[in-house]
Chain A
Amino acid sequence: VHFLFSFRAMASLSEEVLLVVKKVRQRKQDGTLYLMAERIAWGPEGKDRFTVSHLYADIRCQKISPDGKAKVQLQLVLHSGESTTFHFANESTALKDREAAKELLQQLLPKFKKKANKELEEKNRMLQEDPVLFQLYKDLVVSQVISAEEFWANRLGGVTNTDPAQYKYKQEVGISGAFLADIRPQTDGCNGLRYNLTADIIESIFRTYPAVKQKYNENVPHNLTEKEFWTRFFQSHYFHRDRINTGTQDIFSECAKQDEKGLKSMVVQGVKNPLVDLLSLEDKTLDEGYGVCGAQPSTSNSNRTVKESSNYAIIKRFNHHSAMVLAAGSRKGETSSTDGNSRDSDFFQPPVKKVKLQEEYEDLQQENRPKTVPLNLKKSDRYAHGPVPLQSQQYTTSQDIINSVNYIQHEMANYKPNLTQVLSSTVATSAISALSPGGVLMQAGAQQAINQMVPSEVQGELKHLYVAAGELLRHFWSCFPVNTPFLEEKVIKMKSNLERFQLTKLRPFQEKIQRQYLSTNLTGHLEEMLQTAYNKFHIWQTRRMMRKT
C-alpha cells in the first residue's frame, strides 16, 4: 500500500500512549515522539497535531545507528519501501531514549507483523523479486500517476492464482552449518561474555532445534524475557555440548532429552540405502563369544570415565547437529534421501541398489549410432560457405544455356536506347542523393545507431517510460469493449491517467532531450501510441454521446 503522509488530528483520548520521548528531531524539526498502542507518531513542537504517523502494521523493521556515532538515530522502514528517521536530540539521555523506544518497538512490532495483511506481504515479495515491477511501481505509484489500488488491480489475480505455486517451489534457503560459531562470545571487559545474536541466527537455532523453539514459545512472554531466555540458553549445558547434563533445573535439559529421543528414533528407523547399512554389510557375523575382540574397549556407559563420556557426548551432538541442519535445509524438514524403500518391503529391489550394482562405464558401452566416417576437410572455408545448392526446377540444360546466350548476344547487338522515356536530370540527381548514405531512403541504416547516439542514462529513462506507458496502455486497452459502468468509469480514469503521464513524465523527458540537442523523434513512437489511445477514446466518447442523445 502506498503510504501518504496523513495529517491526522491529535490522538483521540481513547488511544493509549505507551511512551513519550521529547526532543526528537525529524526533518530537522524538533518535536515529540509518541508510541501508542497501534501506531507510532511524531508531532512538531508547539503544534497540536502529528505530522508523522505510522501504524505498526505498516512498519517492516527498525534500524538504529551504530553506537558511538555522533547522531543517535532510529529509522523506521515501511513496507512501501519508504523510511522515516528520528534523531534523538536530548544530549544527556539521547541514547537511553533511543534504547527505550527501540525496546518497546521490538516488543510491539512482532505482534503486528502477524496481523499485517498477507496480501501486503505478497505484494512486497513481488516487488522485491521483480526489479522491473518495482521500477514500474516507482514510476507510476510513487509519483502518483495512478493509485496503488489501480496498480495492483489486475495483478492481484496473478497473486492469488499463479504465484502461490511458484512460491511453493521456491527453494528455501538452508542454514549455515556453523551458525553457532557465528555467535562469537566476546569478553566485555568485566568478567562477562557477550553473545551477538541476530534474527538470522535465532531463526537458524529454531529451525535446527525445534525443541528450543518450543521452549521459547512456552516460556518467553510469560516466564522469561527474551533476553533472559537466551542468557539461559548460552549458560546451559545444551549449548556447551561437552558439559554433561547434571542438573535438572535447567529448562533445556528437556531439549537435550528430546534430541536424544529424536536421534534414537532416527537410528531405530535404520537407513534406506542398503549399501550404507553397516548392520547388513557383513554376511555372516561371528556369534557372540567368538573372535578376537581383546583390543576393543567395552562401550558400556558404566565403565566410561567422565572425560570419555563427555567426548562421546560431543560426537553424538555433532552428528545430531549436522543431521538437523541437513534436515532443516531439505524441504519441510523431511529427510528425503535419494533412495528407494526399506529393507523389509523387499517385494521389489530398491532402485538405488539396483542402479549401483549395475553401474557400468559409459565408455565401454557399444555405440548405438551407425559407424560414421570422420569428416576430412581439405578446404574448410569452402565447407563453411559452401556452394548454394541448385533447386531442381532451376536446372537448365546446356542447350538452354547456349540458346539464351545466343539470345542475349542478339539482343545486345540490336539494342537501341529509347531516350524519350528517361527521367529528367533533376529527378535522377535527387533519387541518387536519396539513395546515397545519409539520404532520406538510407535513414534506416543510420538510425540503428541509437544506442551510440544517446547517452545510456537517457536510454534507461526511455526504457522506463516505455514500460510505464505500456502498463498504462495495457490498463486502458483492457477496458474495451466497454460494456459495464465500472469499465466506463475506469476508461475515463485511465484516459486522465494517460494524460497525466504525458504531462508529468513524457513532457519533462522531451524537454530534457531537447536541452541536450538530441533528435526529438525519440519519443515519437510513444506519442503515437498515446495518440492512438486518445483517438480511440474520442471515438468511443462521441459514440456514447450520440447514443445518449
Chain B
Amino acid sequence: MPSGTGKTISLLSLIVAYQRAFPLEVTKLIYCSRTVPEIEKVVEELRKLMEFYSKQTRESNNFLALALSSRRNLCIHPEVSSLRFGKEVDGKCHSLTASYIRAQHHSNPSFPVCQFYEEFDAVGRQVPLPAGIYNLDDLKDFGRRKGWCPYYLARYSILHANIVVYSYHYLLDPKIADLVSKELAKKSVVVFDEAHNIDNVCIDSMSVNITRRTLDHCQNNVDTLHNTIHKIKETDAAKLKEEYRRLVEGLKEANVARETDVYLSNPVLPDEILQEAVPGTIRTAEHFVGFLRRFLEYLKSRLRVQHVIQESAPQFLKDIYDKVCIDRKPLRFCAERLQSLLRTLEITDIADFSAATLISNFATLVSTYSQGFTIIIEPFEDRTPTIANPVLHFSCMDPSIAIKPVFQRFQSVIITSGTLSPLDIYPRILDFHPVTMASFTMTLARTCLCPLIVGRGNDQVALSSKFETREDFAVIRNYGNLLMEMSAIVPDGIVAFFTSYVYMENIVASWYEQGILENIQRNKLIFIETQDAAETSMALEKYQEACENGRGAILLSVARGKVSEGIDFVHHFGRAVIMFGVPYVYTQSRILKARLEYLRDQFQIRENDFLTFDAMRHAAQCVGRAIRGKTDYGLMIFADKRYARADKRGKLPRWIQEHITDGSLNLTVDEAVQLSKHFLRQMAQPFRQEDQLGLSLLTLEQLESEEMLQKIAQVAHQT
C-alpha cells in the first residue's frame, strides 16, 4: 500500500502500545526512514499519537521521542549553519569542537570554539531532555532557548530516549553506526521504513571506488601527515610515545565493551582484531606513514592497467604480498590506526583527510572479508575507450554483511515499505529468516487508481523500451503521441518516467525534432530532470508552481533518479504517471554482472528474476508517487507491452495488481485515452465523508462490530 494509507501510524501505535504495556521488554523503538521529510513526517505522526494518548488517558506520559539528523539539519551556530553542504558543515563543526581545539581555547580564550557545544558540554548532560516529542525544529528551538548544541544534545539523548527516528544510514553504514548507534539498547525494536531499496543501501555503504584523483589526494594527505609528524617530533615527542603505549595496550577497551554486549558490532572491525594489539609494523607513526606510502604506490601501479581486471579479495591480498610485502594483518588495522594518528596529530580539518580515510577503510575491508566482495579495475569508461580514466571498484555484492549486525543485535527488526514486492525475495537477498511476513492491500471507498498498460500505438506498433527497438522512430513517435494525448485530457500535473538519463535525452531530442514537444507545450509546460540536483530542484519547484497556478505542467523524469525516490506528487501535482518502458538496470556494467553471478551462486536467485524484480520495484516506486492517500487519485500508465506478461505484472505490489483488469492489459493509445477520460471524470465528482463511512472510514461502533472484526481476521489470514 502506498504512503498516506496509515502504514506509519499503525506501526507506531502498535509498538508504542507494546512499549507502554511492557516497558522492560521493549525499551526503545528505533524508527529508520529514508529522507529528511519522511523522518519529520514520522515524528509528526508520533506527536499526534501521543496527543491522543494523553487525551484519552488524561495523564501526560513520560515518553521521550526525538529525530536525529546530520549536523547540517541541526546546527544552530550562525556561521556553521550557513554552509550549504553537509561535508562543509561537518568539517567546520569539527574544527570548533575537537577536544584539542577546546584545550587550546582553555589556555588561550581568543581561540574560537562553538559556544553552543561548550554550553552543552558544561551543563547539558546533567539533566536529561524533558519528556516530549522533538522534531528537528523542536530540537533547534530547544537548543536555542538553552544555548545548547542540538546535534550533540540529540546524539546524547538517543541513549535514553524511548523512540528514536533517524535515517537508516545511522544503523547500516558501519562508519556512522560506529559513532552514533553502537550503544543503543539490545531490547530495542528496529523498523526500517521505505525499505524496498535496503539492499542497495547496504551495498553502497560497504563499497569503495578509487580513482587516480583519490590517490593523488591521498598522496597529499600522507605528505601532510609526514610533515606534521616531523614537526611534532621536534616539539612534543611525548605525545607520540603516549600514542604508542596506547596502541600496545591494544583495543582492549573496545573488546571489553563488546563482550558485555554494549556495542553494536562494527563489521568493518571484526571481533578478532579487538583481542590483539596493533601489529608492530605500523605502531610508530613514521612506520605507519611509510606503510601507507607503500600501499599507495601499489594501488597506483594497479591502476596503470590497460585492460579490465576482476579479482577476488584473497587474490588481491596475495598479489599485494608478493609485490610489496604487505601482510594481511596490518592492513586490517589500517582504519583504526589512521584514526588514532589523526587524533594524536590534532588534525583540525578531518574533511581534508577524506581520501586517506577512504584508502584506509578500503584496506581494512579488503583484508577482512574474503567473501562477498569483488575488485574490478577498469582502465577506461566503456563509452569512451580512448580516454584513460582508471577506476578501482571494490564492490560489495552481499547486502547481508552490512545488515547482519542489526539482525544479530536487536530483538525485533521490522522491514516495511509500500512497494516490497515480491516479498519472498527480501529474506533471500538479506539472508535472514523472517518470523512473519504479510502483505496488505488497501480498502478503498472508490477505485482511486487506474493502472493501464499501453502496449501498442494507434498504428499497432508494439511499444517497448527494449534494446532492439529503443531507437525505433515509430516507438518514439508513439510514446510522444501518448504523452501529447494525455497532456490534453489530464488536469494539472503529469509526471513521466524514463528508464535512464541517456534514453530520456535521446527521446527528448527526437521529440523536439519531430515537433511533438511543441504540441505538448500547447497544453502544458514542460520541465525535465537533469543530472544536476540543484537544477532539478528548481525545475521541480517551477513544476509545482505551474500546477498550483492552474497552468498545468509535465515533469519528465528518470526512474532510479532522485525525483523517483524522494518526491511525492500529491493530489494535483500528479494526476497521471506515465512509465515509458521497463526500468531495467544497465546490465552491461561489470559490477552488476559480478553481483548477479554472486546472487546466482550463493542464493540461487536467477539473473533474470533479480533483474525483473529490481526493474519492477523501481517501476512501482515511480507510479506509486502519484497516489498518496485515499483522497488522492491518479492514472498509472505503463507504456510497454512487456508489463502485460505475468512475470512482470506479478511482481508489482498487490495494491496495484488488484486494479489491473484483463481489459486494460494491451491497450492502444486511443483506448487508454478513452479509459482515462472516463476515470478522470468519475474521480472529479465530490468525494464526501459519507461515501467512505463503513469502507475506508469506520466509526467506533463499526470497528467493534462483529462483522468488521471478522473481516479483519479474514484479511489477516489471507496473507
Q: Which residues of chain A from 295 to 322 have a CB within 8 Å of any chain B CB?
A: 295, 297-299, 303, 307-308, 310-312, 314-316, 318-319, 322
Task: Say yes or no for A294: interface residue by CB 8 A criterion.
Answer: yes
B509–A177 contact, CB under 8 A? Answer: no
Task: Say yes or no for A293: interface residue by CB 8 A criterion.
Answer: yes
Q: Which residues of B contact A308 (CB under 8 A)?
A: 505
B515–A337 contact, CB under 8 A? Answer: no
A290–B544 contact, CB under 8 A? Answer: no
**Tally of chain A residues near chain B (CB < 8 A):** 73
Other 12 A-B pairs with CB < 8 A, given A281-B37, A290-B205, A292-B393: A278-B536, A278-B540, A279-B533, A284-B167, A290-B209, A294-B395, A311-B509, A322-B542, A322-B546, A329-B551, A335-B542, A363-B692
CA distance A357 to B8 in the complex (A): 13
Contact string against A for B residues 115-143, beta-carbon threshold 8 Å, 1 for contact and 0 otherwise: 00000000000000000000101001000
| For the complex of A and B, 10 pairs with smallest distance between CB atoms | A181-B518, A283-B167, A178-B521, A291-B204, A311-B505, A322-B525, A178-B522, A284-B169, A177-B521, A294-B591
B81–A276 contact, CB under 8 A? Answer: no
B82–A344 contact, CB under 8 A? Answer: yes
Most chain B CB neighbours (cut-off 10 Å) among A285, A297, A319: A319
CA distance A68 to B122 in the complex (A): 92
Q: Which residues of B contact A284 (CB under 8 A)?
A: 70, 86, 167, 169-170, 173, 176
Task: Say yes or no for B545: interface residue by CB 8 A criterion.
Answer: yes
Q: Which residues of A contact B70 (CB under 8 A)?
A: 283-284
Most chain B CB neighbours (cut-off 10 Å) among A284, A287, A318, A323: A284
Interface segment, one of B265-273, B293-301, B489-497, B562-570: B562-570
Q: Which residues of A contact B505 (CB under 8 A)?
A: 308, 311-312, 315
Chain B, Cβ-Cβ closest to A302: B387
CA distance A289 to B392 in the complex (A): 10
CA distance A267 to B563 in the complex (A): 16
A323–B538 contact, CB under 8 A? Answer: yes
Task: Say yes or no for A346: interface residue by CB 8 A criterion.
Answer: yes
Contact string against A for B residues 401-425, beta-carbon threshold 8 Å, 1 for contact and 0 otherwise: 0000000000000000000000000
Knowing A271-B541, A322-B525, A357-B44, say if A314 contacts B697 (CB, 8 Å): no
Task: Say yes or no for A44: interface residue by CB 8 A criterion.
Answer: no
Q: Which residues of A contact B630 (CB under 8 A)?
A: 361
Q: Which of A177, A286, A330, A346 contacts B81 (CB 8 A)?
A: A346
Knowing A287-B358, A325-B525, A361-B631, say if A294 contacts B393 (CB, 8 Å): yes
A–B Cβ pairs within 8 angstroms, 30 of them: A176-B522, A177-B521, A177-B551, A178-B519, A180-B518, A268-B534, A272-B541, A274-B37, A276-B567, A278-B536, A278-B562, A280-B36, A281-B36, A283-B69, A284-B70, A287-B87, A288-B358, A290-B207, A291-B204, A291-B207, A292-B207, A293-B209, A294-B590, A294-B592, A319-B530, A323-B539, A323-B542, A326-B549, A330-B545, A363-B689
Q: Which residues of A contact B207 (CB under 8 A)?
A: 290-292
B210–A282 contact, CB under 8 A? Answer: no
How distant is B397 from chain A, measured CB to nearest CB, in Å? 10
A295–B537 contact, CB under 8 A? Answer: no
Q: Which residues of A contact B539 (CB under 8 A)?
A: 319, 323
A287–B384 contact, CB under 8 A? Answer: no
Most chain B CB neighbours (cut-off 10 Å) among A242, A289, A308, A353: A289
A346–B358 contact, CB under 8 A? Answer: no
Task: Say yes or no for A338: interface residue by CB 8 A criterion.
Answer: yes
Task: Say yes or no for A451: interface residue by CB 8 A criterion.
Answer: no
Knowing A316-B530, A335-B545, say if A283 contacts B73 (CB, 8 Å): yes
How distant is A302 from chain B, measured CB to nearest CB, in Å? 8
Q: Which residues of B contact A295 (CB under 8 A)?
A: 585-586, 589, 591-592
Q: Which of A174, A267, A307 contacts B551 (CB 8 A)?
A: A174
Q: Which residues of chain B from 502 to 536 have a CB within 8 Å of any chain A CB?
A: 502, 505-506, 508-509, 512-513, 515, 517-519, 521-528, 530-536
Knowing A346-B140, A363-B689, say if A326 contacts B551 (CB, 8 Å): yes
CA distance A8 to B523 in the complex (A): 54
Knowing A280-B72, A286-B204, say if A326 contacts B540 (CB, 8 Å): no
Q: Which residues of chain B from 61 to 84 have a CB within 8 Å of any chain A CB?
A: 69-70, 72-73, 81-82, 84
Q: Which residues of B contact A522 (CB under 8 A)?
A: none
B566–A357 contact, CB under 8 A? Answer: no
CA distance A275 to B530 in the complex (A): 18
Q: Which residues of B contact A289 (CB under 8 A)?
A: 208-211, 214, 354-355, 358
Knowing A178-B518, A297-B383, A361-B631, say if A266 contacts B209 (CB, 8 Å): no
How distant is B83 from chain A, measured CB to nearest CB, in Å? 9
Task: Say yes or no for B476: interface residue by CB 8 A criterion.
Answer: no
| Interface residue ranges, A against B (CB under 8 Å) | 174, 176-178, 180-181, 241-242, 263, 266-268, 270-295, 297-299, 303, 307-308, 310-312, 314-316, 318-319, 322-323, 325-326, 329-330, 335, 337-338, 344, 346, 349, 353, 356-358, 360-364
CA distance A325 to B84 in the complex (A): 29
CA distance A272 to B538 in the complex (A): 9
A318–B517 contact, CB under 8 A? Answer: yes
How distant is A439 from chain B, measured CB to nearest CB, in Å? 54
Q: Which residues of B contact A290 (CB under 8 A)?
A: 204-205, 207-209, 358
B541–A276 contact, CB under 8 A? Answer: yes
How distant is A271 from chain B, measured CB to nearest CB, in Å? 4
A322–B526 contact, CB under 8 A? Answer: yes
Task: Say yes or no for B250: interface residue by CB 8 A criterion.
Answer: no
Knowing A241-B512, A283-B70, A311-B505, say if A278 contacts B205 (CB, 8 Å): no
CA distance A322 to B70 in the complex (A): 35
Chain B, Cβ-Cβ closest to A276: B540
Q: Which of B200, B204, B538 contacts A267 (CB 8 A)?
A: B538
Interface size class of B (residues with CB under 8 A): 35 or more
Q: Which of B39, B521, B538, B590 contacts A271 (CB 8 A)?
A: B538
A285–B86 contact, CB under 8 A? Answer: yes
CA distance A180 to B41 in the complex (A): 43
How distant is A330 from chain B, measured CB to nearest CB, in Å? 7
Knowing A281-B37, A289-B214, say if A297 contacts B536 (CB, 8 Å): no
Chain A, Cβ-Cβ closest to B82: A344
How distant is B483 from chain A, measured CB to nearest CB, in Å? 13
Q: Which of A278, A303, A357 contacts B41 (CB 8 A)?
A: A357
How distant is B124 from chain A, measured CB to nearest CB, in Å? 21
B513–A242 contact, CB under 8 A? Answer: yes
Chain B, Cβ-Cβ closest to A294: B591
Task: Say yes or no for B166: interface residue by CB 8 A criterion.
Answer: yes
Task: Say yes or no for B548: interface residue by CB 8 A criterion.
Answer: yes
Q: Which residues of A contact B166 (CB under 8 A)?
A: 283
CA distance A363 to B548 in the complex (A): 24
Q: Which residues of B contact A282 (CB under 8 A)?
A: 35-36, 167, 566
How distant is A344 from chain B, measured CB to nearest CB, in Å? 5
Q: Which of B73, B81, B384, B396 contacts A280 (CB 8 A)?
A: B73
CA distance A135 to B268 in the complex (A): 87
CA distance A363 to B629 in the complex (A): 13
Task: Say yes or no for B40: interface residue by CB 8 A criterion.
Answer: yes
CA distance A92 to B118 in the complex (A): 96
How distant is A171 from chain B, measured CB to nearest CB, in Å? 11
Knowing A329-B551, A349-B137, say if A315 contacts B566 (CB, 8 Å): no
Chain A, Cβ-Cβ closest to B85: A279
Task: Say yes or no for B203: interface residue by CB 8 A criterion.
Answer: yes
Q: Which residues of B contact A310 (CB under 8 A)?
A: 509
Task: Say yes or no for B381: interface residue by CB 8 A criterion.
Answer: yes
How distant is A369 from chain B, measured CB to nearest CB, in Å? 13
How distant is B581 from chain A, measured CB to nearest CB, in Å? 16
How distant is A380 from chain B, measured CB to nearest CB, in Å? 20
Chain B, Cβ-Cβ closest to A312: B505
CA distance A271 to B140 in the complex (A): 21
Q: Which of A178, A292, A299, A357 contacts B203 (CB 8 A)?
A: A292
B506–A311 contact, CB under 8 A? Answer: yes
CA distance A337 to B36 in the complex (A): 22
Q: Which residues of B contact A176 (CB under 8 A)?
A: 522
Q: Which residues of B contact A277 (CB under 8 A)?
A: 537
Contact string against A for B residues 332-359, beta-carbon threshold 8 Å, 1 for contact and 0 otherwise: 0000000000000000000000110010
